[in-house]
Amino acid sequence: MYRRRASIADYYRDALDKLRSLILRESEAQIIGSDTTELAEYYFQQYALNPIEIDDTREKHWEYNNYVKTIPANQRESFYGNEGNLDFPCERILVEIPIKPNDNIKILSELTSSTFSDSYPEREFNWNQNSISFVIETKGYGFSLDEERIANEINDHIRRVTELLEWKNNDIKRGNVNLLNGIKGLIDVRKQNIQKSKDKIQSLTQKINIPLKKNIPQGAQRIALDPKPIVKRIKPNPHLPEEYVLDESKVNDILEVLDNQAKSFERTPKALASLGEEELRDLLLANLNSIFEGKATGETFSKKGKTDIYLNINKGNILVFECKQWGGKKLLHETIDQLRGYLTWRHNYGVIIIFSKIKNFSKIFSEIPSTIQESQSFKNSYKKINETHYSAIHVLEDDGKEVKIHYLFYNLFSEN
């Protein structure tokens, strides 16, 4: 029996049904105390789909493959049947169209759009997070396509993919708008019902003269809304400003980018001999901004002062880097204190990058464990990650706030 595939519209209807249940179960304090738009966007980002965008910064590419295929006797002309199964040389071309990374791609590949064509079977296409690909058989049993026919087939398939994405994206954009409006409507209705109920309870309470026990809401739960942004939003607390948490996996991604570039500095120390802390910082900064793109929350890497790199989110500094040349224990302690003073959020990270241009670079590392742990702000969790990378937890001025500081060391010594 034929089973109809779910559509993008079906997905959004199902999402709104699930959200209706979630909003009905949400605490009254959360509903009444939250801004409707802010709370709606929190729920919206859990179910919204991202349109599929072709990545124009990467080129389409294709590859040619030849292979051998066994053709059973019953699939060939009857007068060849007595020859049994035979192998035949075959050829095919794989074409890959780059798309911007999309974590919804698996879901979207399984959903149909409201506009479709029976001549565009989506099963011909392979949907991956970073690309859409298809295969064209160019030679096989009983056929062989010439160059013009192959080119026409490739161009026709690319046109089909482009048109298919347009159809899907139209439904996604329409679905996202309707979903957000629907969520706002559900929240508004719940607010109205809560208020009606409260008015009724207040009237009843006055009549029986017994105060009702207040339901004190628990703290907001930390959740991940989107794997792509660097910074994650936490569910808004009633009457409280939003708070941001920097995902540690993103910190590690940033550190990997920094480490790769700084290690390239080590391979050409003479070329960098004339550069000071500020110039080295600017090289790192340019590379970070070329890789990590700012999102809706306003992330951006910027410089402040002579040696700092900031990840700004408009309302505070959530990640700060300090670039210094090695100047002994005292300077490192001063840098730690300077870093602590910059950070303003409850969940913070700091990175201290030390460039050494002295000859006996290895002797520095014998001082590192004690230098870090002797800092007045050191709390715990000192760790040697590798030979040139260390980390530790430090306390901030405000009790209850901590910062995890990463220490990266690089040797830029060169003989004159």
Q: Would you list the DSSP string of 346-361?
A: SEEEEEEEEEE-SS-H
Report helix, strand or coil for 308. strand
Q: Kindly report the CA angle at 389 between 387 and 390, in degrees rounded to 5?
A: 110
Query: 137 has which bridge partners?
Result: 92
The DSSP symbol for 212 reads P
Helix (H) or strand (E) holding 140: strand 131-140
Question: pTM higher than 0.75, yes or no?
Answer: no
Q: Can you tell me whether residue 53 is helix, strand or coil? A: coil
* Rounded distance between C-alpha atoms, residue 134 and residue 132, angstroms: 7
Which pLDDT score is estimated for 211?
39
Q: Are 303 and 285 in contact (CB under 8 A)?
A: yes
Contact indicator for 335, 349 with CB cutoff of 8 Å? no
What span, in angstroms and rounded, lies between the C-alpha atoms of 9 and 182? Answer: 14
Per-residue pLDDT of the chain (416 residues; tens, 9 = 90+): 445 789 999 999 999 999 999 999 988 878 887 889 989 999 998 999 999 999 988 888 889 889 888 888 777 766 565 667 788 889 999 999 999 999 899 999 889 898 877 666 667 888 988 999 999 988 988 888 999 999 999 999 999 999 999 999 999 999 999 999 999 999 999 989 888 876 654 544 444 333 333 333 333 333 333 345 555 555 666 654 455 667 777 788 888 888 888 888 888 888 878 888 888 888 888 777 766 654 333 344 544 555 577 765 545 556 788 888 888 888 889 888 888 877 766 557 889 998 888 888 788 888 888 888 988 888 888 998 988 899 999 887 765 677 889 999 988 887 76
**Cross-strand bridge partners of residue 383:** 391
H helices present in 7-72, as ranges? 8-25, 28-33, 36-47
> Could you tell me which residues come within 8 angstroms of residue 242 by beta carbon, excluding any fewer than 6 positions away?
38, 233, 234, 236
User: Are residues 86 and 70 in contact, defined by beta-carbon separation less than 8 angstroms?
Assistant: yes
In this structure, what token pair is assigned to residue 28? 């009254």
